[in-house]
Structure 1
Amino acid sequence: MTPPPKVGDILHYVYLFTHEQEAGREEGIKTRPVMVAQVDGARVFTLAITTKADKTGSTLPIPDAVADRAGLARGTSVIVDQYNHFTWIGYDIRPVTAEPSYVAGRMPPGFTNTILSALRANAKGINRD
């Protein structure tokens, strides 16, 4: 069995945004990077990483140096007013290597804490099981 990821890990995942769910979609449109915000046993909570922060709600910009270190594109942001959660390993996780490995990168601990502090108390969660 593949062990669950750690908080701060970056995964490739078919994320379902709240506006997509409200429009009747049951699946996300594309695979995107997400950051693991919490792991509770086999339950994993993820935040979307996007280059279109102006269209997705509350976001926290990722500094270029952090994006470079984490293997992300410059100009990306983390969405902090919604999240997806699922039982690991889930249907929408995509491997990043042939072994397979599911961790594509990692946020540095300090910036991970900044993201978790910015996470909205009223963030909307979508159960993806």
Structure 2
Amino acid sequence: MSLEPKVGWLLSYSYLWADEHLRGAEEGIKNRPCALVAATRRDGDRIVAIVVPVTHSPPADPATAIEIPAVTKARLGLDAERSWIVCNEANVFAWPGPDLRAAGRQTPPSVWYGPLPPKLATAAREKLREFAKAGRLRQVPRTK
């Protein structure tokens, strides 16, 4: 797959939650929108990507997530329920990876829902960095 990563975009991904990973799961339970917050080239052409999940569940600690504005959700073709980008855990994988999924009912099929507003994408990336610096980011390694 010759798919270039688009940092700051929402994509469809089989996200594996950190708690599920700790219980021994190797696959995500369902496909969900996730924000691609980083993609770095390592060892030549290898790209390592970091995605954070989007959920309908309100965060127990509001400092761990950022709500997606309704207008953004509508533009991306998502449902009208409230949703949050969770920033205190992430999946890390070799791009493009086997866990990318088709987003919505697009023709032709694509993994991309579309771009997040730049301020929202930057806020999610910065919040993730804060958790990483504090040693509180729960990272789940997927493909290598």
TM-score, with normalisation over the residues of structure 2?
0.79
Segments of 5+ residues of structure 1 without an aligned counterpart are none
Give the equivalent residue in structure 2 for 1:107. 116
The structural deviation recorded for 1:68 is 2.2
- CA shift digits 1:74-121 (9 cap, x unpaired): 400000100001111211111234544221222011111121222222
Question: 35, 53, 63: which is aligned to 1:48?
Answer: 53
Report deviation, 1:71: 2.9
Query: Cα RMSD over matched residues?
Result: 2.0
Once the two structures are TM-superposed, the CA of residue 53 in structure 1 deviates from its matched residue by: 2.8
Q: Which moved more, 1:33-42 or 1:2-11?
A: 2-11
Is the 1:43–1:85 contact (alpha carbons within 8 Å) kept by the matching residues of 2?
yes
- Percent identical pairs in the alignment equals 29
Partner Cα separation in structure 1 for residue 102 and residue 78 of structure 2: 16
Residue of structure 2 aligned with 1:86, choices 69, 81, 93: 93
TM-score in terms of structure 1 length: 0.87
State the match for 2:73 in structure 1: 67
**In 1, are the aligned partners of 2:37 and 2:52 still within 8 Å (CA)?**
yes
CA contact (8 A) 2:5 2:96 kept: no
Q: 1:55: how far off? A: 6.1
Amino acid at match of 2:79: A
Counterpart-to-counterpart distance in 2, 1:91 and 1:50: 21
Unpaired runs of 5+ residues, structure 2, are 42-46
Q: What SS does the aligned partner of 2:7 have?
A: coil
